[in-house]
Amino acid sequence: MGAIARNSLRFILAHDISTVVPGLTSLKQVETAVKVGEEFEGLTKEENARYKIGELPREPFCRECGLCLPCPRRLNVPFILRLDKYYTEYGVTDWSKGQYNRLRIKISSCTRCGECESKCPYKLPIIDMLQEAKTRFILT
């Protein structure tokens, strides 16, 4: 189990979460995960800063409830907005763009019919949010 997996487990342990399914595939991975849990005494100051613990996402943000679906144009709105969050909040720009470019149905398919916005329990300006994401994903 590599450093990324150990850091991910530490991040999870720092939150009030009851269950995680980490997808371990060997006894060694299980032993490493147990060791991380046994040794965990909280995140370091550096980890808190890196993971932005205690910071709320910038509004508006999609909570990925999926109630905006289905889109008449079959656009995966929550997934696209998640990619945009990775891009803007966490600086994972290249990966986010790559994932977006692999989508079969892109933001340009949106007809701005407003069905997603009328179904959103958080009253998000989804159409505007998608258009902003589009500018990030198609530029550079």
Domain ranges of the chain: 3-51, 77-138
Report the pLDDT value the prediction gives residue 56, as an integer from 0 to 100.
59
Residue found under tokens 């995680």: 20
The answer to whether the CB of 110 falls within 8 A of the CB of 125 is: no
Tokens of 19: 């269950």
* Straight-line distance from the first to the last Cα atom of the chain, in angstroms, rounded to the nearest whole number: 35
Query: What does the pLDDT read at residue 140?
Result: 47
Instruction: Write down the pTM of the prediction.
Output: 0.64
State the Cα angle at 98 between 96 and 101, rounded to 5°: 110
Q: What is the pLDDT of residue 3?
A: 74
Report the pLDDT value the prediction gives residue 57, as an integer from 0 to 100.
64
Integer angstrom CA distances of residue 137 from 17, 28, 59, 89, 101: 32, 39, 20, 14, 8
Going residue by residue through the chain (140 aa), what tens digit of pLDDT does each one get? 677 777 778 877 877 776 666 678 889 988 988 998 899 888 888 887 777 666 656 778 898 889 999 999 999 999 999 999 989 888 889 999 999 999 999 999 999 999 999 999 999 999 999 999 999 998 64
Q: What pLDDT is recorded for position 59?
A: 78
Contact 127, 60 (CB under 8 A): no
